[in-house]
Structure 1
Amino acid sequence: MSDESNLYDEAIERIDELVQDVIQTCDEVADKNHYEKEWVLDRFRDRFNKAKRIND
């Protein structure tokens, strides 16, 4: 496996960990505030996409 391939695999692994952390945080926010988990995830997606557009 090439160094480039290893770097890619490591990046994907870190991104997958980040995704799991965000989902866990959204679940915790939903549980703590008695919100629907799907609603929190939808709001997160909306806010993430808006922030991404602003920073592009």
Structure 2
Amino acid sequence: MSEEVQPHTQLTTAINTDRAIIMGDPARVDKAAKLLDNAKEWAYNREYKSVIGEYP
């Protein structure tokens, strides 16, 4: 069964996380990603930028 992609964020439930930080400015996502271990860009659609990683 394929995952349905959310049209605004381009995310699916495949992320499998129970926590998220929401930021208003996509540039702040890059700054926050530097604080994460194993950070990688997950999706970027318009102003919605998603990064996944582990907080040390």
**Normalising to structure 2: TM-score of the pair?**
0.26
* Structure showing greater relative contact order (alpha-carbon pairs closer than 8 Å, 6 or more residues apart): 2
More strand per residue: 2
